[in-house]
Amino acid sequence: MGIPVKITVIGAGSATFSMGLVKDLCLTENLAGSHVTFMDIDEARLERIHRLAERYITELGGKITFDRTTDLAQSLQDADFVINTAGGEYGSMEERIDLARKHGYYAGAPFGVNYYNLNLMLNVAREIERVCPNAWLIQSGNRVYEGTTLMARETNVKVIGLCHGHYGCINVANVLGIDPDKVTWVAPGVNHTIWLTEFRYEGQDAYPILDEWIATKAEAYWQERADHPEKYGLEDQMSRAVIDMYRRFGLLPIGDTTRGGGWWYKADLETRLHWYGPTGGFLSEVHIGPFLKRHYERIEEIRQVAEDASRSVLEAFPPVKTREQQVPIIDALTNDVPGTFQINRPNEGVIPGIPDDIATEFPAVIDKGGIHPIKMAPLPKKIMLEVINPMVNKAEWELEAFLTGDYDLLLDGLMMIDTFQSGGHTVSYEQAKAYLDDFLAQPYNQDMAAHFKRREPSWAGVLARKAK
């Protein structure tokens, strides 16, 4: 028996995430007796997850207790761990994508839109500093990269950023037909741009297995997925784009990294279909429909279970541990059950060539003594030049925009930043300006528009800024 803790879940209305957490907690003997406070601003969703969790624990016979609140400060009272999975609110993804398409862009929002998520994260971190300064903050919602960087700079909160992307390594093993449990891998970088630097199968370098697969089986694999898209997921860890990135960089990109590679993979739908497979990759015209459909179906399914007290919650959420790292990390930090985890933290020398105060993603041993990062070898120079360095500057640019409210940093960013992850690039000044202004004029964007007020040329203003 371990030590019970108090865990606060911010944005708990996301039932898939919260129910996964409840399952993992119930199945972790060491954390029996722990208490979970669900917090969300959406009362209906909050009430639903609370009810589901209570029914789950009753059916399973576990020893976790729950309560709920819509008040952030109250939710943080006495918290040992805060898991933030909330996202900023600013219209629906459909609305944003329609607007982007109208202006000739692929991506769902212009540069700087992380304003909402960054604002929310920083507010939560500051409130933790005030209410429960010793709590660990486990950041589990986007954007982990910029957000972890920002919170670590602006507050003293102990923050860990988590993402699922690195599990793409398991998909790699499955596609290659080797047992994932016999594979050793390391995939560091910055969140959403990580690279398979170590890849062994039964202790031997497994890159030759990948090369063999590319030479003899990749074409058939891509053909099969094109012929029978209904049999496969919406995205592909082993698409042509991924293998082309491997050719360019010498290392395989993992997880969300596979969505990037350069704007030219995304020039038009035909190009996307070639590089990313039959859905054209993340947020393409073909991908977006099924992607949102799956998302809403999952929400509806959970709603139905929640509203039908006669249904078994255990059946809807079979009691098998997820692959999420939150609960094992809580166990490691609380009960000294050591483990190696893929986390995001300020780099502080872990990956050579990245500034200390930029959050990077890397493996770390975690135990009651805290976080013990495993020092990484340098990434290939080409990855630093084409991917990481521009991503570092992009984060600095975005955080400066966020902190200053400078409209020009948004507009110039939209025009100048073509990172590895970009959804397509700007053709003209007029296009960028019209898109940004139209976006800021949307009713759901009043907050952001107020923050990034357009400053017309004003020489007095210029001097005032310069004097700072």
Question: Which one of the spans 63-71, 322-330, 443-451, 460-468 is the region binding a copy of itself (CB under 8 A)?
Answer: 460-468
Rounded to a whole number of angstroms, the minimum distance from the CB of residue 370 to a copy of itself is 31
Please identify which residue in 73, 226, 374, 427 interacts with a copy of itself, judged by CB under 8 A. 427
Exactly one of 40, 256, 331, 406 is catalytic; name it: 256
CB 421 within 8 A of CB 259: yes
Please identify which residue in 397, 402, 435, 452 interacts with a copy of itself, judged by CB under 8 A. 397
CA–CA distance, 1 with 33 (Å, rounded to integer): 10
- Three-state DSSP at 65 gives strand
Helix runs in 279-406, H state only: 285-307, 313-316, 326-335, 381-383, 389-404
- Three-state DSSP at 186 gives strand
Which CB, 220 or 460, lies closer to a copy of itself?
460
Which CB, 119 or 389, lies closer to a copy of itself?
389
Ranges within 246-305 binding a copy of itself (CB under 8 A):
246-248, 250-251, 262-264, 267
- Indicate if 192 belongs to the active site: no
Ranges within 197-256 binding a copy of itself (CB under 8 A):
207-208, 211, 214-215, 244, 246-248, 250-251
Please identify which residue in 97, 150, 415, 440 interacts with a copy of itself, judged by CB under 8 A. 415
Rounded to a whole number of angstroms, the minimum distance from the CB of residue 211 to a copy of itself is 4
CB 375 within 8 A of CB 402: no
Q: How many residues does the chain have?
A: 468
Please identify which residue in 390, 440, 445, 451 interacts with a copy of itself, judged by CB under 8 A. 390
Question: Which one of the spans 78-86, 182-190, 337-345, 376-384 is the region binding a copy of itself (CB under 8 A)?
Answer: 376-384
Rounded to a whole number of angstroms, the minimum distance from the CB of residue 395 to a copy of itself is 10
Which CB, 327 or 436, lies closer to a copy of itself?
436
Please identify which residue in 408, 450, 453, 454 interacts with a copy of itself, judged by CB under 8 A. 408
CA–CA distance, 253 with 387 (Å, rounded to integer): 11
Please identify which residue in 385, 441, 446, 454 interacts with a copy of itself, judged by CB under 8 A. 385
- Three-state DSSP at 280 gives coil
Could you report how far apart the first and last alpha carbons of the chain are, in Å? 57
* Pair of tokens at residue 467: 């004097």
Please identify which residue in 42, 54, 154, 418 interacts with a copy of itself, judged by CB under 8 A. 418
The residue type of 352 is P
Asked whether position 382 contacts a copy of itself by CB under 8 A, the answer is yes
Query: Nearest to residue 397, comparing CAs of 105, 203, 111, 159?
Result: 111
Q: Buried b / exposed e across 388-399, counting CB within 10 Å, b at 16+?
A: bebbbebbebbb
Query: Nearest to residue 160, comparing CAs of 137, 132, 194?
Result: 137
Rounded to a whole number of angstroms, the minimum distance from the CB of residue 15 to a copy of itself is 40
Query: Nearest to residue 11, comparing CAs of 85, 88, 71?
Result: 85
CA–CA distance, 33 with 56 (Å, rounded to integer): 15
Q: Buried b / exposed e across 413-424, counting CB within 10 Å, b at 16+?
A: bbbebbbbbbbb
* Pair of tokens at residue 205: 């370098």
Q: Is the peptide bond before 143 cis (omega within 30 degrees of 0)?
A: yes
Rounded to a whole number of angstroms, the minimum distance from the CB of residue 449 to a copy of itself is 20
Asked whether position 4 contacts a copy of itself by CB under 8 A, the answer is no
- Indicate if 418 belongs to the active site: no
Rounded to a whole number of angstroms, the minimum distance from the CB of residue 196 to a copy of itself is 11
Q: Kindly list the catalytic residues.
A: 164, 256
Contacts with a copy of itself, residue ranges (CB under 8 A)? 207-208, 211, 214-215, 244, 246-248, 250-251, 262-264, 267, 380-382, 385-386, 389-390, 393, 396-397, 400, 406, 408-409, 412, 415-416, 418, 425, 427-429, 432, 457, 459-460, 462-463, 465-466
